[in-house]
Structure 1
Amino acid sequence: MENHENAKKHAIELNLKTYYLLLSISIILFKYSTISAQNQSGSHLDKSLQVVLDSARTSMEITGAAACVIFKDSSMWQGVSGLARPGSSVSTNTAFELGSISKIYTATTVLKLVAEGRLNLDDRLYTWFPNLPSSESNTITQLLNHTHGLHDPLQESDFVPAIMGTPTKIWTLDDLLTKMKDPYFEPGAGWHYSNTGFHILGAIIEAVTDSTFSDVLSTQVLKSLKLDNTWYGAHDPVGKELAVAYIDPFGSGDLKPVSLMMPWTAFRTSAGPAGAVVSTASDAAQFLHGLMTGSVLEEAEWNRMTNWVDRPDGYKYGAGLLHIKNEGRFLLGHKGNSAGYSASAFHDQSQGVTIVVLTNAHAVDVTPIVTTLLQISTRIER
């Protein structure tokens, strides 16, 4: 418990330190860009973005990071910083686990099947899981927007020890459902973030297509966008570069490449359709930018994805999509955390800019890096 508290305190200190660092960087760069805006070039903007990424990675004690910015005109900046694994630097081809950003991919796959008439958002859970609580009233829509009320065992304190105790175990949906407790509330009576809904959606996708979730995701989303460096992370494709997960296991400040020291099977399979998509920063940015600019979903399905419900924290949530307000900007996307990885991906609708930051750091909020890169991207001419 003491190690956990020390680690938590250290994380808070890092976040505060990083906030003030990024604020200082953005002020300096903004002043510079204001003074000499007419003389700016893409080269200056590229260097400025790299300064932010390098400074933030160092300040937040992140081992490795990759970032991608896609501008309104579809031009792209990519930046990398630090190590992907011991002795190997992050490259633009390095992939990271996306954590809960995966929910956008799963939701998009569901909405593709809705467009084909193979699913209906009003379909009841009872069709596939008659023994689950409130299955006769819970709908696919409620699974997508976290208003279903089903308990999430992944958020319980005893779940990580269960994973660590059997690191080679391949977790199934049945394994997770047996760990479920009583629902948080009746369907539609509240909002509670729960990975359970997206695990169930993955099983429904498999049931209606008679295929694996990985294959359907690839067919419905990845291949059409030519996202060759994105995959469902329950398995590792040969020839791909995957960053190693770094974790401070004892709360001592000493980061270890833990996914090289023990099997990662249990972590990845337990994340499932709720959090096990793996991607490079550029692939993830192209997916999100395509989604936001209308090249992934038809208008009817996009409207369904952005049918917002209120969260208790003041944010809004759609079908696997988070809607936040940051310094007057409305951003759509998602944050993501999995064991040894932290990520953030957002699109600014007013500016038409998409930014993704991926890291091999554990339990770090990297969204401040995204918002700082966004500020720089929209203040310095490209």
Structure 2
Amino acid sequence: MPDWSARLNELAVAAEVTGAVLGIWHDGETTLAPYGVLNTTTGVETTADSLFQLGSISKSWTASMIVQLAAEGRLGLDDPIVKLLPEAPVDTRVTVRQLLTHTSGIDGDLFTDTGRGDDCLQRYVGLLADVDQLFEPGTAYSYCNAGFVLLGRLIEVLDNRTWDESLKARLVEPLGLRHTVTLPEEAILHNAAVGHTAADGSRVQTWQLPRSIGPAGTITSSAADVLEFARLHLTDATYAPMQEPQVPYAAGIGGFVDLGLTWRIYDWGGRRLFGHDGSTISQLAFLRIDPEARLIMCLLTNSGNGTRLFEPLASEVFTEYAGVAHPVAPQPAEAPVDDRHTGRYERASVRLDVSRRADHLVMTEQATGDRLAFAEEPVHEYELLPTEPLDGNHFVTRYSPEHPWLPVTFTPTRVFTSGRVTPRR
């Protein structure tokens, strides 16, 4: 059996990750391995029970509560959200299922801080009246944080308490979790990580996303608690529908081939896994579950370089216990480019400008609106390189030469990147 603490140390140093905790649960046995420091300013060392932000892994917790409510007969997954939540100023055709599967068409990257009060989700939902509808509900996939705030607000209305309180009552307390919180005043009672930028490892100045984004991404937890939550989805049939494919995911990054009810479904060498990733302010988290091998792996990091650590480490863990490795990312290929996709693309919080430079395309990403409040790098330039199929519409890019390639796909009216549809303006 490998020394996972030693391997985490070696790979984290190579990936220039500041701090991390690796959690492995395999057929009843748990391994926890900490690495590095939680904060370069204080030098506090990472411990096995340290808390890291889960980012969008929080969505699977919110989805689990929605599935509980469905099992209780208090909502239907195909109910229009406005039937259950009349205050929601969204297309009347948008259903609960579409919110769970990012197919509502709502332009979802709205990061407005609506305050620390218990009414923050209600106030956030009111702002959706001014948000664009990117496509007809149910006709496409585009990652939608706002949809999960809507679901969180629905939980509040049906449970007559805040989303945070429902999370505690429905999941945290029944599972006996002692290191899972949502608010900063709770996190400071533990050893909590702060984010560090990928560029130079410096500590970021903003610790957490606004409370209004809670159901989409503000759970802070330990690796042991994440493993315990994931085990629920191996053992309790109530949550089995979350693992059933709902929407195909064409980009296929990291083996992600289908979306269930929020869970991402992966094909790793013919084996079916499910899980989710999360990204907040320079804290990246990863969760993968293999039901056949009875294997769960989570990796919590406080560095923008977390992906550079996750992919090789996940390959080693899953090769050891399940005989499969993390899929290879798409690679660039030689092909001429033209100007058909040059121009501006824009959605909430992001503007993308595509231009031609000599024999290749360049995409400049600009954070806009409320996202500027916590963007570590408000402007970043990406080189776009052709990839298979060589039709002039498919490209790959990466954050830096050390990071994995990511797909970028164009149509005449939009670009699909980072799991999101961005319309051409």
Q: Give the equivalent residue in structure 2 for 1:184.
A: 134
1:247 and 2:184 aligned: no
> 1:50 maps to which residue?
5
User: Could you tell me which residue of structure 2 aligns to residue 372 of structure 1?
Assistant: 316
Residue by residue over 1:219-267, the C-alpha shift from the partner in whole angstroms, topping out at 9 and shown as x without a partner, is: 111111111111224653452221121125xxxx322222xxx4535x2
Which residue among 141, 151, 155 is the counterpart of 1:205?
155
* Residues matched between the structures, number: 311
Aligned-residue identity in percent: 26
Which position in structure 2 is the counterpart of 1:101? 57
Equivalent position of 1:35 in the other structure: none
Gaps of 5+ in 2: 324-425
Residue 350 and residue 62 in structure 1: after superposition, are their counterparts in 2 closer, same or farther (change >3 A)? same
C-alpha deviations, 1:334-377, integer Å up to 9, x for none?
A: 01111120010011122110000000012642541223222233
Q: Please, what TM-score do these two structures have when normalized by structure 1?
A: 0.75
- Of residues 59, 66, 69 in structure 1, which corresponds to 2:24? 69
1:92 shift after superposition? 0.8
Structure 1 gaps, min length 5: 1-43
CA contact (8 A) 2:62 2:148 kept: yes
Instruction: Say if 2:203 is the partner of 1:257.
Output: yes
Q: Per the alignment, do residues 363 and 68 of structure 1 end up closer, same or farther by CA in structure 2, a change over 3 Å counting? A: same
Deviations 1:194-230 (A, max 9, x none): 1111010000000111101011111111111111111
Return the alpha-carbon distance in structure 2 between the equivalents of residues 218 and 175 of structure 1.
Answer: 22
Secondary structure, aligned partner of 1:356: strand
Distance 1:234 1:223, change over 3 A: same
The alignment status of 1:132 with 2:92, answered yes or no, reads no
Amino acid at match of 2:18: T
Cα deviation digits, residues 53-86 of structure 1 (max 9, x gap): 11221111110000111012x1111111111123
Paired amino acid for 2:81: L
Superposed displacement of residue 144, structure 1: 0.5
Counterpart residue number, 2:272 = 330
Mapped to 2, the partners of 1:334 and 1:61 lie a distance apart of 23
What secondary structure is seen at the aligned counterpart in 1 of 2:31?
strand
Match in the other structure for 1:349: 291
> Which amino acid in structure 1 is aligned with residue 201 of structure 2?
L
Pairing partner for 1:174 from 96, 113, 123: 123
Counterparts of 2:134 and 2:184, CA distance in 1:
28
Residue-by-residue CA offset, 1:304-346 (whole Å, 9 max, x unaligned): 5524311231421111100011233321110111112001001
> In angstroms, what is the RMSD of aligned CA positions?
2.4
Aligned partner of 1:306: which letter? E
> 1:114 pairs with 70, 74, 79, which one?
70
Kindly state the Cα deviation for residue 133 of structure 1 after the two structures are TM-superposed: 3.3
Q: Is residue 2:299 matched to residue 1:360?
A: no
* Paired residues of 2:243 and 2:265 also in contact (CA < 8 A): no
- Between 1 and 2, higher relative CO (CA 8 Å, sep ≥ 6) is seen in 1
